[in-house]
């Protein structure tokens, strides 16, 4: 559309007519949205040289286009020269730049611009405050966000639904659900009707932190749905969201399809709810199908749409497809937020592909995508988990230099990294720095440091921190107790381990499956299989279901136990619906090798390759078996009772894996999907 508009402009000028400033401002927006940066600047220079003289709207269009390309400094330069053309920057001009700074993780620059705005005598609007409040909420600075919200109202600027939603979202992300509910009630008292975004934010918070969606969360939804002032589209969005939170994703999809077929007004929010739901469930095919329907309905995908699609691909370990999706969206001119890259970056680190994560980080810098607090925290956390502590510290210092305020998660990542590296002293220094910067170490911080001392066998120091927890108002949780129990079991200090289990129960912290697994593993390692069986029976009697770790721990004990008792234990496991995995395969193959049966390990390895995914451990075991076969030929006929029993276990494992073999899924062609769908630019920078 932009080339045709330029042709019209040329004909107007060819006839000696002067195009209106409004028309030129619209044309500039079209050029920027089409990605034609050079033509937009040429048109602007023509206006400066030939007229008509640029207006405030023209400058705003240029500033917006520059910010969308990540060239915020160019936008600021345009703001400074406006007065030369007898144009005074309005609130909209400042809002565009402030939002750009916040989107690219530079909230400190946004607040500096806000001060300049006030000094210039330009009155901020509710949009100005919403942008800044959102930036503070994004960084977890909720007390400051609330103060700014109150300052806005003292200045006589009435808050709107968007401002309240921003504040509610901030409290939810900070885990402060009570305060989020209070703001929601305050919003209703002011006569502002909640919309689908209000509901989605609160529903997510109740679902994640309170786990009582069945009571208060549903009451909240019913209350919102009974509101008679809501138009059709938000009502539809909330009905769709209700289905999603009840995990009725197919019903939500059918409702959206019906709405489109009936010509009802639909919004991106409803589609995003279902796309996110499918992506979280690992159903990326359904998510992309729904994405196509959304685009065919004439709706431009939002930043949330992209985030959900990338998340779904990363959950399915399809990192190459996720990267291709990001690249295609950039190629199509879709203005991505930092979140999409952060999701992909985190996915790469979680799957051990550090090289891809580092490439993503470098590409973000080259493309002018400035990471926010969440992005930096994910990057630092990934580096720490990959044991790149020097690079993690450099990223931490760079984050601080950019004016971003590290949060508890950032510090906890570094503290955890140092503890894993055995440098608990450096971890303690970071904890001290954390306190000096106004952050309060939480239960996660304390658990990490306790685990660091326990890994070094310094149980006295760990106990000292355990005692200090109560002094600062922290109560130990199940992870604290499990860490200590595991440490005592590794030290063969069963007396203290038992005492801690009793203390744990007396304080109302009931053992979980991890507690039982630690206990069973310790007993099996000490060749106390009879007691391990009793603990297994206790686990079942308390209503817990053994998991794969429990099974594999017991299987390992079975293979080392006397034959008669091993048969009894195996009978118990079979009654509990034994579920094998690659770890089960590894321990059984390794026991073949230990019993001098490498040929049986190789034969079973070839059979299991058809129904199980092998890891590096499996390959190492089979390599060892091949070497043993070459060194000492093993007769197939000579089999002891224990080797026959091992053969029996392997047959059960093979049968279970064969029965549980997943169905083949068709592969999505990301290129075709993106080429078909992404045709419109994002509205992430719209601030009018």
The CATH number linked to 18 is: 1.25.40.10
Q: How far apart are CA 682 and CA 306, in angstroms?
A: 10
Q: Is 20 helix (H, G, I), strand (E, B) or coil?
A: coil
What's residue 232's pLDDT? 53
Omega before residue 52 within 30° of 0, cis: yes
Domain contains 129: no
Low-confidence winner among 48-62, 169-183, 252-266 (lowest mean pLDDT): 48-62
What's residue 380's pLDDT? 93
Kindly state the average pLDDT of the residues 677-684.
41
Distance of CA 681 to the CA centre of its chain: 24
Kindly state the average pLDDT of the residues 557-585.
71
For residue 282, give the DSSP letter: T
Dump pLDDT digits (tens) for 102-132: 877 677 888 888 888 888 888 888 899 999 9
Which of 122, 153, 182 terminates a domain? The answer is: 122
- Give whole-number Cα distances, 23 to 6, 9, 29, 257, in Å: 11, 9, 10, 38
Which of 72, 106, 122 terminates a domain? The answer is: 122
Domain hosting residue 602, numbered range: 580-659
Q: How far apart are CA 339 and CA 345, in angstroms?
A: 10
What's residue 321's pLDDT? 85
Kindly state the average pLDDT of the residues 469-486.
86
Dump pLDDT digits (tens) for 582-623: 888 888 888 888 878 888 888 888 888 777 778 888 888 888
Domain contains 100: yes
Dump pLDDT digits (tens) for 148-187: 988 888 888 888 888 888 888 888 887 788 888 888 888 8
b/e 496-516 (16+ beta carbons within 10 angstroms → b): bbeebbeebeeeebebeebbb
Count the neighbouring beta carbons within 10 Å of the beta carbon of residue 407: 18
Q: How far apart are CA 181 and CA 187, in angstroms?
A: 10
Count the neighbouring beta carbons within 10 Å of the beta carbon of residue 172: 23
Domain contains 637: yes
Among candidates 292, 297, 318, 306, which has minimal Cα distance to 342? 306
Q: How far apart are CA 490 and CA 494, in angstroms?
A: 9
User: Hunting for tokens 């305060």 — which residue is that?
Assistant: 179
How many Cα neighbours within 13 Å face the side chain of 543? 3
Domain contains 364: no
For residue 157, give the DSSP letter: P
Among candidates 591, 489, 556, 568, which has minimal Cα distance to 548? 556
- Give whole-number Cα distances, 108 to 114, 125, 267, 437, in Å: 10, 19, 33, 17
Which of 97, 122, 147 terminates a domain? The answer is: 122
Longest CA–CA span in the chain (Å) reads 104
Domain contains 19: yes
Q: How far apart are CA 223 and CA 231, in angstroms?
A: 15
Domain contains 31: yes
Dump pLDDT digits (tens) for 396-409: 998 888 777 788 88
Contacts of 495 (CB under 8 A, 6+ apart): none
Q: How far apart are CA 33 and CA 660, in angstroms?
A: 50
Contacts of 59 (CB under 8 A, 6+ apart): 78, 79, 82, 85, 87, 89, 93
Domain contains 610: yes
- Number of structural domains found in the chain: 2
pLDDT at 12 over 90: no
Q: How far apart are CA 95 and CA 64, in angstroms?
A: 10
Q: What is the pTM of this model?
A: 0.62
Among candidates 276, 209, 282, which has minimal Cα distance to 241? 276
Domain contains 303: no
What's residue 616's pLDDT? 83
Q: Report the interhelical angle of 56-68 vs 72-81 (nearest 10°).
A: 160
Q: How far apart are CA 220 and CA 534, in angstroms?
A: 46
What's residue 676's pLDDT? 45
pLDDT at 227 over 60: no
Most confident by average pLDDT, 65-69, 226-230, 528-532, 673-677: 528-532
């Amino acid at each position: 559309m932009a080339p045709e508009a330029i042709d019209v402009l040329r004909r107007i000028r060819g006839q000696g007519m002067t195009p209106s400033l409004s028309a030129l401002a619209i044309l500039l927006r079209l050029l920027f949205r089409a990605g034609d940066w050079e033509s937009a600047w040429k048109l602007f220079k023509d206006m400066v040289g030939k007229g008509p003289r640029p207006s405030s709207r023209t400058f705003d269009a240029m500033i917006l286009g520059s910010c969308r390309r990540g060239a915020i400094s160019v936008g600021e330069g345009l703001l400074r020269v406006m007065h030369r053309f007898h144009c005074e920057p309005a609130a909209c001009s400042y809002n565009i730049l402030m939002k750009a700074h916040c989107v690219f993780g530079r909230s400190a620059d946004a607040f500096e611009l806000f001060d300049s705005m006030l000094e210039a005598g330009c009155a901020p609007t509710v949009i100005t405050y919403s942008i800044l409040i959102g930036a503070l909420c994004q960084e977890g600075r909720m007390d400051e966000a609330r103060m700014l919200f109150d300052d806005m109202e003292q200045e006589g600027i009435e808050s709107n639904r968007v401002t309240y939603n921003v504040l509610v979202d901030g409290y939810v992300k900070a885990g402060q659900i009570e305060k989020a509910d209070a703001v929601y009630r305050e919003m209703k008292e002011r006569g502002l009707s909640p919309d689908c975004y209000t509901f989605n934010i609160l529903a997510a918070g109740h679902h994640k932190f309170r786990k009582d969606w069945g009571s208060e969360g549903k009451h909240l939804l019913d209350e919102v749905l009974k509101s008679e002032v809501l138009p059709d589209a938000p009502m539809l969005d909330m009905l769709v969201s209700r289905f999603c939170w009840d995990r009725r994703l197919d019903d939500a999809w059918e409702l959206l399809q019906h709405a489109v077929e009936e010509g009802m007004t639909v919004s991106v929010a409803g589609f995003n709810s279902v796309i996110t739901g499918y992506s979280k469930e690992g159903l990326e095919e359904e998510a992309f199908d729904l994405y196509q329907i959304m685009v065919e309905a004439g709706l431009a995908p939002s930043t949330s749409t992209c985030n959900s699609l990338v998340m779904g691909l990363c959950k399915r370990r399809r990192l190459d497809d996720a990267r291709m999706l990001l690249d295609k969206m950039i190629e199509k001119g879709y203005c991505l937020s930092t979140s999409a890259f952060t999701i992909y970056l985190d996915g790469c680190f979680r799957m051990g592909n550090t090289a891809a994560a580092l490439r993503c980080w470098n590409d973000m810098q080259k493309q002018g995508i400035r990471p926010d607090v969440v992005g930096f925290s994910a990057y630092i956390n990934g580096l720490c988990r990959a044991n790149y502590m020097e690079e993690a510290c450099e990223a931490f210092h760079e984050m601080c230099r950019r004016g971003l305020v590290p949060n508890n998660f950032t510090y906890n990542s570094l503290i955890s990294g140092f503890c894993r590296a055995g440098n608990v002293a450096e971890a303690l220094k970071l904890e001290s720095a954390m306190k000096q910067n106004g952050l309060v170490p939480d239960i996660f911080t304390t658990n990490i440091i306790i685990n660091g001392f326990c890994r070094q066998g310094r149980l006295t120091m760990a106990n000292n921190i355990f005692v200090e927890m109560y002094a600062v108002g922290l109560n130990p949780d199940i992870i604290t107790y499990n860490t200590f129990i595991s440490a005592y079991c590794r030290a063969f200090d069963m007396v203290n381990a038992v005492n801690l289990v009793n203390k744990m129960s007396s304080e109302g912290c009931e053992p979980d499956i991890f507690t039982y697994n630690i206990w069973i593993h310790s007993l099996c390692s000490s060749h106390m299989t009879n007691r391990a069986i009793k603990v297994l029976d206790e686990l079942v009697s308390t209503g817990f279901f053994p998991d794969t770790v429990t099974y594999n721990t017991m299987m390992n004990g079975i293979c080392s136990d006397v034959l008669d008792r091993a048969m009894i234990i195996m009978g118990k496991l079979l009654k509990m619906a034994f579920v094998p995995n690659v770890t089960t395969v590894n321990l059984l193959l390794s026991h073949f090798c230990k019993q001098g049966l490498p040929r049986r390990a190789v034969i079973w390895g070839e059979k299991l390759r058809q129904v199980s995914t092998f890891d590096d451990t499996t390959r190492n075991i089979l390599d060892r078996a091949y070497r043993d076969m070459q060194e000492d030929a093993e007769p197939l006929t000579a089999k002891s009772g224990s080797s026959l029993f091992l053969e029996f276990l392997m047959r059960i494992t093979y049968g279970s894996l064969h029965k549980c073999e997943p169905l083949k899924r068709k592969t999505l062609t990301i290129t075709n999907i993106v080429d078909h769908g992404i045709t419109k630019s994002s509205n992430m920078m719209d601030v009018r």
